[in-house]
Structure 1
Amino acid sequence: MDMTERVAELSAKLAQQKASIETEEATKNAFVMPFIGRVLGYDVFNPSEVIPEFTADVGTKKGEKIDYALVHDGQVQMLIEAKKVTEPLRLEHASQLYRYFSVTNARVGVLTNGQTWEFYTDLDEPNKMDAKPFLVLDLTAVDRTLLPELAKLTRDSFDLDSVISAAGELKYIGAIKRSLAGEFREPSDEWVRFLAARVYGGKNITQRVREQFYPLVEKAAHQFLAEQVNDRLKTALGSEVSTEPAAIDQATPARTPAKSAPVGETETARGTRASEITTTEEELDGYRVVRAIVCSEVAATRVVGRDTKTYFGVLLDDNNRKPIARLWFNRNQRYLGLFDENKVETRMPIDDVEDIYAHADQLRKTVAGYLARAGEQN
């Protein structure tokens, strides 16, 4: 598996097991150690690579322990402090990590609850851990642009100089992206005031004007994101680039008109039909959830999305004869279409994309069935 698939595998595991994890130790066993082993590539049972309960005296504090120290080339390079998965990370959680950072050779500190992984270094002041992380990875909403940077921290590709040199840019780009994401979800007064001032004809942006513009900014933000997604899909459909499943999967789930359009339909007609289809961000989120779930059975690149006017289909190998799921989201009541061994669809009502995880076993069973009939090992 490559980095993307390993992260997706752990993401699916997190979604399945998070609700049953109640302690810090259980979090370490279920999520933290698998991340160290599967994603970062360290042997968690080899004390020359991973030191659990690492101890270093810090000033007057003797015998304090940090959860894990990762060793590379005989030197401690990374410190990891873990909290239980049900507890959101807070600044005070990093206090012990902060103290240890200054008395070891480690240049990377990691704070995690198994779901969110915050990576710190010493950009602001040498040998003193920064107050803000340079990289934040959330396994429930993985930002793929961060995976190449995460790869630099793996055992086989450990490149501290490269990580440190890129950390400053990552830190501020990440902060800006999180800020923008927050504004798109829930516009702040400052954001509404700024945009209103750019388009409003009046001289003063009063409280009444801000209240008037708040829902407009919120609606415009959602429409803008949807249009960006659709533009990418239209560009992909209009190009002559190969639409093999892997190529589609690496960008955005796309439709393949040649397979879904009626026989004999012209290329112009196909393009017209495709332009009438609007793929929503919610459908894309649902597709990503299904793919994360079934990647335990098959490579993620083989799971392909194809939209239609009535539903968003998720297929194995971009093959209509191998449907994994259908997302019936173009209605007030959303449904998840599941398939049995005879490819008979059953629509299950869901309220939110997250509800798809409740049907993980059936989705995996469907994929496993296709593989078994094809004589493949899952």
Structure 2
Amino acid sequence: MELTLQLKALADKINQLKDKITTEESTKHAFVLPFINILGYDTFNPTEVVPEFTADLGLKKGEKVDYAIIQNDEPILIIECKNWKENLSVHGSQLFRYFHVTKTRFALLTNGITYQFFTDLDEKNKMDQKPFLEFNITSLKENTVNEIAKFHKTSFDVNNIVNNASSLKYITEIRKQINDELTNPSNEFIKLFANKVYSGRLTEKVVDEFRELVNKGFNQFINEKINDRLNAALNKEEQKQQADQVEDVVHDTKINTTEEEKDAFRIVVAILRRKLPTHRIVYRDTQSYFGILLDDNNRKPLCRLHLNGAKKHIGLFNNDKTETRLPIENIDAIYDFEKELLDTVNLYESE
């Protein structure tokens, strides 16, 4: 969760600053070094992150790669940087040469926005032509963040990354092929389906006719699948809301919201106003607890207060939305949990 928030903060910074960044050097300092820091490496420690790392090529001396991340006195990742405006596809050969003369298994080519991670799956000690992981930091998806996390200092494991890199590389290529075929289907792709439904001879004219049919068929299929999933999710949410409403009607006849609970709610609002407008903070009193929700949504509990028993407790929520109860002497003690309450807001706002 923390890694996701850090990457999002860097993405926001990039979107704000990129038009003011004009050189490769400023790209390094504004975009790439913060990314290395997010991975847990100290960019101010020359034994951990080495700028201008020497990668001499035979008789050609003085060749240097922009950065090398070091572990146990050996490079584990070499990084070549370009200006954020540059297309990385024309710069792979330079990193390819550096990879060959270092002991690393991983290389990164980046312009601070697009990141391409390479290894040596095809031939040992020889960098692959295609990256096994590529992403745009300003439009990250959750599964990509999980792959980035494997390069974090606390979890870096060469064998784990290499073993996963092969499937990751081919899945990426397969997804690109699927996208290409759906955008501009090849004759082979069209014939694959036409042969299954058309009994006549597949002339050039027939293939051209099926081109539009195959395209329409796939688009309709994908749209229907998306609608099915949306409808299933909406129906599930509607059923849940109806069940909650029935439960609330039953409970309302037995619930008495105390002045103490109302005062406690005002304390929580006072804390969370730093990040939320007050209308988004809503309470729901139940027989067993006094719940405080974000946007009146049962799936976004901010905290629960247990004030009617012999002992008072505050219930806080982690990433899995599991409640942890902690004792409080009185409602003033809610102020002691300011950080935890604000962290919970961050959890929902980053979803």
The TM-score, its normalising length taken from structure 2, stands at 0.64
Residue of structure 2 equivalent to 1:174: 172
Deviation at 1:262, TM superposition (A): 12
1:156-171 to 2 correspondences below 5 Å: 156-171=154-169
Structure-1 residue corresponding to 2:257: none
SS in 1 for 2:28: helix
Q: Distance in 2 between matches of 1:62 and 1:151?
A: 35
The Cα shift of 1:156 comes to 1.0
The one of 129, 134, 137 equivalent to 1:136 is 134
Q: Check conservation: 1:69, 1:78, Cα contact below 8 A.
A: yes
Amino acid corresponding to residue 61 of structure 1 in structure 2: K
Q: 2:166 and 2:146 mapped to 1: Cα distance?
A: 16
Provide the C-alpha distance between the structure 2 equivalents of 1:69 and 1:87, rounded to a whole number of angstroms.
21
Quote how far apart the aligned CAs of 1:29 are.
Answer: 2.3
1:72 matched residue in structure 2: 71
Relative contact order higher in (CA < 8 Å, ≥ 6 apart): 1
Match for residue 96 of structure 1? 94
Distance 1:58 1:15, change over 3 A: same
TM-score, with length taken from structure 1: 0.60
Selected match of 2:229 from 221, 229, 232: 232
Report the counterpart of residue 35 of structure 2 in structure 1: 35
Contact 1:66 1:96 in 2 (8 A): no
**Alignment partners' CA distance in 2, 1:143 and 1:103:** 34
The within-5 A match list for 1:11-30 is: 11-30=11-30
Change in Cα spacing, 1:10 to 1:193, as seen in structure 2 (3 Å) is: farther
Kindly report which structure 2 residues correspond to 1:164-203, keeping only aligned pairs within 5 A, or say none: 164-203=162-201
Q: Distance in 2 between matches of 1:149 and 1:262?
A: 38
| CA separation of 1:217 and 1:114: change in aligned 2, threshold 3 A | farther
Partner of 2:82: 83
Can you give the 5+ residue segments of structure 2 that lack an aligned partner in the other structure? 247-274, 281-292, 298-340, 347-351
- How far residue 69 of structure 1 moved from its aligned partner, in angstroms, is 0.5
Q: Deviation at 1:182? A: 2.4
Give the letter aligned to residue 31 of structure 1: F
Larger radius of gyration: 2
**Which whole-Å CA distance do the structure 1 matches of 2:58 and 2:122 have between them?**
22
Contact 2:52 2:65 in 1 (8 A): yes
Q: 1:222 to 1:3 in 2, by over 3 A?
A: farther
Match of 1:217 among 204, 214, 217: 214
| Aligned position for 1:287 | none
The root-mean-square deviation of aligned C-alpha atoms, in Å, is 3.3
Following superposition, the deviation at residue 104 of structure 1 comes to 1.5
Aligned partner of residue 41 in structure 1, secondary structure: coil
How many angstroms apart in 1 are the aligned matches of 2:146 and 2:342?
30
User: In the TM superposition, what whole-angstrom CA distance separates every residue of 1:178-198 from its partner, at most 9, and x where no partner exists?
Assistant: 211222333334323333333
For 2:135, the aligned partner's letter is L
The answer to whether the aligner puts 1:8 opposite 2:2 as a matched pair is no
CA distance in 1, matches of 2:198, 2:207: 10
> Quick one: distance in 2 between partners of 1:231 and 1:173?
25
Q: How many residues align?
A: 260
Q: Distance in 1 between matches of 2:16 and 2:211?
A: 37
The 1-side partners of 2:19 and 2:193 are apart by 41
Superposed, 1:340-351 pairs within 5 Å as none
Contact 1:55–1:63, Cα closer than 8 Å, also in 2: yes
Provide, for residues 207-247 of structure 1, a one-character-per-residue CA deviation record: whole Å limited to 9, x for no partner: 323332333333333333333333333444455xxxxxxxx
Q: Is the 8 A contact 1:49 1:70 kept in 2?
A: yes
Shift of 1:260: 9.7
Aligned equivalents of 1:99, 1:194: Cα separation in 2: 41
Unaligned segments of structure 1, at least 5 residues: 240-254, 265-296, 303-315, 321-374
Q: Could you tell me how far 1:150 is from its partner in structure 2?
A: 2.2
C-alpha contact (below 8 Å) 1:37/1:43 kept by paired residues? yes
Amino acid at match of 2:43: V
The percentage of aligned residue pairs carrying the same residue is 46
**Separation in 2 of the partners of 1:31 and 1:95?**
23
Mapped partners of 2:208, 2:113: distance in 1: 36
Q: Measure, in 2, the Cα distance between the counterparts of 1:30 and 1:226.
A: 41
Cα deviation for residue 106 of structure 1 reads 0.9
Summarize the Cα distance change of 1:159–1:85 in structure 2 as closer, same or farther, 3 Å threshold. Answer: same
